[in-house]
Structure 1
Amino acid sequence: MVLDGSLLERARREDARYWAEHRRPISSDELRKRLKVGSKRARALVTQLGEQVRSSRLALEAGQAPTETV
């Protein structure tokens, strides 16, 4: 599924807000409600957010600066 860059950025912001409050990543159902998107799109966004977090953590562990993926 192709994800719009602005939608992905909104998802990042919602994930950050959710993390600050709950100390865990946002669920696809919560993201669906906040962004008013369908469940399939919300799951795709959560998957992409998770991949970006994992790649950033791996880069930090390897002593590299994390890269921004869009």
Structure 2
Amino acid sequence: MQIKLLDASSDHAEEEPKTYSVYLGRERLGRFVRIGRNEFDALDRDDQPLGTFPKQKEAVRAIRAAVDRRR
């Protein structure tokens, strides 16, 4: 299975946090927001917070784990 990331933030605002949606096929698993150089807030598909992580990969793992817990 390949998880795809979709950049959902505006391109013209560098100071704004960047938001990425996480999909598996057509299913939206959740999203994460880059809030700092090494800070990523992860949210599940219902926008419930999953935590703040130092790496993008860890934020995606938290989103995937939240999906696995729901199944």
Bucket of the pairwise TM-score, normalised by the shorter protein = 0.3 to 0.5
Q: TM-score, normalised by structure 1?
A: 0.32
More strand by share: 2
Q: TM-score, normalised by structure 2?
A: 0.32
Larger C-alpha radius of gyration, 1 or 2?
1
Give the number of the structure with larger relative contact order, counting CA–CA contacts within 8 Å between residues 6 or more apart: 1
